[in-house]
Structure 1
Amino acid sequence: MANNRPLAVDPIAEAKRQWLAHGWTDAAAGMTAVTSLMRAQQLMLARVEAALKPFDLSFARYEMLRLLAFTREGRMPMASATARLQVHPTSVTNTVDRLNKAGLLRRLPHPIDGRAAVLELTDEGRALVDGATVALNEVFENIGLDDADVTELVSIVARLRKSAGDFRDPAPVPDPL
């Protein structure tokens, strides 16, 4: 449950104090980092969900619609969407089923692979995701940090993600002949 009032004490700082007091010194900084990231994610997700609520969208459904809207023709193979969203295929299937039922996208047979599907954004889906993006951009434009802090935060988290195996640097492009 969300707390609408700031706490008198930072519970993560208190947890760190307890970690140190119990002799878990080597783990205290990492525990603080992990729990800080998790709490920040909860806070940001609450703001995102509040912005999407008038559109009756979860963030997962929004991401799917936005992904399709970014394509030239508003369509892509379902397997490509799964890979790009970095979620389990079952989650994508559930998201697609709900969006299809709501008339926001269509699930079509793949023209070459009979076992695969192509997802296609409907006009209603495009209008909805465009409106939701305007609302979300209000969240994104003011996350509570200045531009320099945002740049530093994104850089640090990218290094964390990379070291966890989330992505690797692209291969260098050879110079033209």
Structure 2
Amino acid sequence: MVSSPGPDRPARPDRPDPIREAHRQWVRHGWADAADAMAVVTSLVRVHQLLHERIDAVLRPLGLTFARYEVLRLLAFTTAGSLPMTRLGSLLQVHPTSVTSAVDRLERQGFVVRERQSADRRVVRAAITDTGRAVVEEATVGLNDSVFGELGLDPDETADLTRLLSTYRRHAGDRVEPGEDGV
């Protein structure tokens, strides 16, 4: 695996920026009207890769993926420590199959249990265990220290990027609450 530039690995100045080169090629081949957007999309995909490398470095030793971390974090945020499976999928904006898969794995790891709701036995809730609470707290400390707290952007840049991404999300059909397009 090739290490990416980051706080401990500076960029290689002897290598050209592949996204800038792709932009030049887009223009050269007659697609100038799409070149800037291509560079944005390609940059976002690359940033996604870079962030996932950092996230995985924190979560992998704990036996978690980011998807499973999100399930645990959401359950830990609730007062009851549990949510119906359908609500989990809705809040995480993922397909029910993805929630089932994540909860299956978390259950095998002892981080969650499934419970039937007494009022309606058809409703299955995922409930975080004490072990799950401990691992999600450890993971959150690690993510805050190594990823969220060290993003590499100053506070104004972070707020600007959040606003821009929220605008895109809103135009793509996501529900973005008033005031969410900034931090």
Q: What's the TM-score once normalised by structure 2's chain length? A: 0.88
Equivalent position of 1:89 in the other structure: 96
Give the TM-score taking structure 1 as reference length: 0.91
| Equivalent residue, structure 2, for 1:2 | 2
- Residue 38 of structure 2 corresponds to 31
Distance 2:75 2:177 in 1: 25
Residue equivalent to 1:173: none
- Alignment length, in residue pairs? 170
Partner residue in 2 for 1:45:
52
Q: RMSD of the TM alignment (CA)?
A: 1.4
User: What's the CA shift for 1:168?
Assistant: 4.4
Please, which runs of 5 or more residues in structure 1 have no aligned partner? Answer: 171-177
Report SS of the residue matched to 2:113: strand
CA distance in 2, matches of 1:165, 1:106: 33
Q: 1:11 aligns with which of 3, 15, 18?
A: 18
Determine which structure has greater relative contact order: mean sequence separation of CA pairs < 8 Å that are 6+ residues apart, divided by chain length: 1
CA–CA distance in 1 between the matches of 2:2 and 2:140?
24
CA distance in 1, matches of 2:100, 2:68: 11
Pairing of 1:1-177 with structure 2 (within 5 A): 1-4=1-4, 6-7=11-12, 8-138=15-145, 139-169=147-177
Q: 2-side partners of 1:169 and 1:123: how far apart? A: 33
The code of the aligned residue for 1:132 comes to A
Report the alpha carbon displacement of residue 169 of structure 1 after superposing the two structures with TM.
Answer: 4.1
Q: Matched residues in 1 for 2:49 and 2:173: separation?
A: 23
Q: Secondary structure at the match of 2:150?
A: coil
| Percent of residue pairs bearing the same amino acid type | 48
Moved beyond 3 Å, runs of 4+: 1-7
Question: What letter matches 1:54 in structure 2?
Answer: P
Please, which runs of 5 or more residues in structure 2 have no aligned partner?
Answer: 6-10, 179-183
